[in-house]
Structures are given as C-alpha cells and as structure tokens.
Amino acid sequence: MNHPLIEAGVEQLRTKWPQAHYQKGKHGYYLIVVPSVKLPAQYRENICTVLFLAPPGFPASHPDHFFTDIEIRTKDLSYPRNTNLGNGALLERIGWPQWKDAQWWSWHLQMWNPNQSSLYTYMRVIEQRFQCDETFR
C-alpha cells in the first residue's frame, strides 16, 4: 500500500523539480529522489540529485540528513562542512545499494510541525543548507 502523504509530497516537489520520485524501502522507509537540483555559485558543481529518507512514521517522524549523488566541493576545492563521502551505508543497508557512495550531508531541522511540514518543506531546508557554505568562509 502506498503512503498518501508521501505521494502528495512528491507531487508537490514536482512543481519545482519535475523528475522527483520516491521508492519504498525496507522497514517503512521511503527514499525521496530529487534530480536536477541547481547548486549555488560557491560550488564547483552546478547540479546534483538530492536523496533523503522519509522515515517510518512520517510525518510524525521527520527527515534528518540528506545525500547527494555526486561529490560536491566548494570553488576552492574544499569539502562543504559536515559532509562525508561514501557514507551512504545507511541507504545501502535499507535497500538502496546503488547509493552506497553518496555524499552524506549532516543537517538537522530546527523545527518540524507534522501537521504543516512536508517533503517540500524539507527540500527547502536542503536548499538553505546549500547556501550555508558561503557563510562559513
């Protein structure tokens, strides 16, 4: 059985990222895949695919952390803060071995309201995180 809030959330994501989709995984996780995400100018790369997990119990349980399909570095070739290459072991462990080499981005929500927040909300948080590396320099 599909999760109506996941489906509605992916439909909302498609208003900005038309290729967004999801895959149901083990233990109640959903992998949200958002291709063609444009990166800010402070990065060497221009575009990536963002991956994040909607955990069991979503939306009462909220997403935490996210991944990119490629290695992303800043223009000065340093790694963005709080990232780790090849840390997609979690994704591999719960059913997506093709993402085991994904770049992991540690980022935690400050607020989440399960009655109002959505997958789109979390993707906007990810966009804000991408902007942060400029402020760290």
Burial class (CB in 10 A: 0-12, 13-18, 19+), 9: buried
**Would you state the pLDDT for residue 94?**
87
pTM of the model as a whole: 0.92
**Would you state the pLDDT for residue 88?**
79
Q: How far apart are CA 119 and CA 3, in angstroms?
A: 13
pLDDT < 70 positions in the chain:
1, 133-137
* Structural domain range at position 63: 4-135
In 3-state terms, what secondary structure has residue 98?
A: helix
Nearest to 113 by CA among 65, 59, 57, 77: 59
**Would you state the pLDDT for residue 133?**
66
Instruction: Kindly state the percentage of the chain with pLDDT values over 90.
Output: 72
Number of domains in the chain: 1
> The tokens 């963005």 sit on which residue?
80
